[in-house]
């Protein structure tokens, strides 16, 4: 204990501890900011895919595989697991099962409100294109859903 008291009186050691704490706090704030940005992208991805998946009824196995592949290879998804993706998709599925029109409106509203960069928005659209074409057939209702997603993201006009 007397050793701790001595370090409390030593201005050099107190300064070093204070700087170490400040550095740790700065790293934590940077991590939290990165996590918040990633969380927003994650939520937007799930909402966009939900709109497209539920346009023709449900997320087919090939579409799901393509989504998981895009999810696992995206550096923006670091820190999120496939289980979290599945849980979010299940929540959207329940909402669509209860009231499809209101669930669609909520998903599109969350896309419109998202604060994503232009690059992130383009990345979301690329993933949506991959999901739509994954089963080898592009349904007209999926194209309509893609157009709604583009409008919600502010990218109407097919900028891909």
The C-alpha angle 80, 106, 71, rounded to 5 degrees, equals: 25
Residue 8 has a pLDDT of: 58
**Confidence (pLDDT) at 70:** 79
Q: For the whole model, what pTM was predicted?
A: 0.69
Angle (CA) 125 74 48, round 5°? 30
CA distances from 131 to 89, 95, 128 (A): 14, 20, 5
Q: Is pLDDT above 80 for 19?
A: no
pLDDT above 90: residue 159: no
Kindly report which listed range (34-43, 64-73, 104-113, 136-145) carries the lowest average pLDDT score. Answer: 34-43
pLDDT attached to residue 5 = 53
Report the C-alpha gap between 121 and 160 in whole angstroms.
10
Neighbours of 104 (CB within 10 A): 20
> What average pLDDT score do residues 45-74 get?
82
**Alpha carbons 123 and 38: distance in angstroms, whole number:** 13
Residue 79 has pLDDT above 80, yes or no: no
Q: CB burial class (10 A; 0-12, 13-18, 19+) of residue 160?
A: exposed
Half-sphere exposure of 21 (CA within 13 A, CB side): 6
CA distance 120 to 45: 10
Report the pLDDT value the prediction gives residue 75, as an integer from 0 to 100.
73
- Give domain 2-153's CATH number out of 3.30.310, 1.20.950, 1.10.3680, 3.30.43: 1.10.3680
- pLDDT class of 35 with cuts at 50, 70, 90: very low
157: left (phi over 0), alpha (psi -120 to 50) or beta: left
Instruction: Break the chain into its structural domains and give their ranges.
Output: 2-153
Structure tokens at 81: 């697991």
Amino acid 104: pLDDT: 92
Q: pLDDT by residue (tens digit) across 107-158? A: 999 999 999 988 889 888 888 888 888 877 788 898 999 999 999 999 876 5
What's the pLDDT at 148? 95
């Amino acid at each position: 204990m007397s050793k701790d008291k001595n370090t409390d009186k030593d201005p050099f050691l107190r300064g070093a501890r204070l700087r170490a704490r400040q550095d740790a706090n700065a790293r934590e704030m940077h991590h939290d900011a990165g996590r918040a940005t990633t969380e927003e992208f994650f939520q937007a991805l799930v909402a966009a895919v939900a709109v497209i998946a539920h346009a023709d009824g449900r997320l087919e196995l090939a579409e799901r595989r393509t989504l998981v592949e895009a999810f696992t290879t995206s550096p923006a998804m670091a820190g999120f697991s496939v289980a979290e993706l599945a849980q979010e998709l299940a929540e959207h599925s329940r909402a669509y099962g209860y009231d499809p029109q209101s669930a669609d409106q909520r998903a599109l509203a969350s896309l419109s409100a998202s604060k994503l960069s232009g690059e992130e928005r383009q990345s979301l659209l690329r993933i949506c294109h991959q999901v739509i074409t994954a089963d080898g057939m592009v349904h007209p209702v999926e194209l309509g859903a893609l157009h709604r997603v583009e409008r919600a993201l502010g990218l109407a006009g097919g900028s891909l």
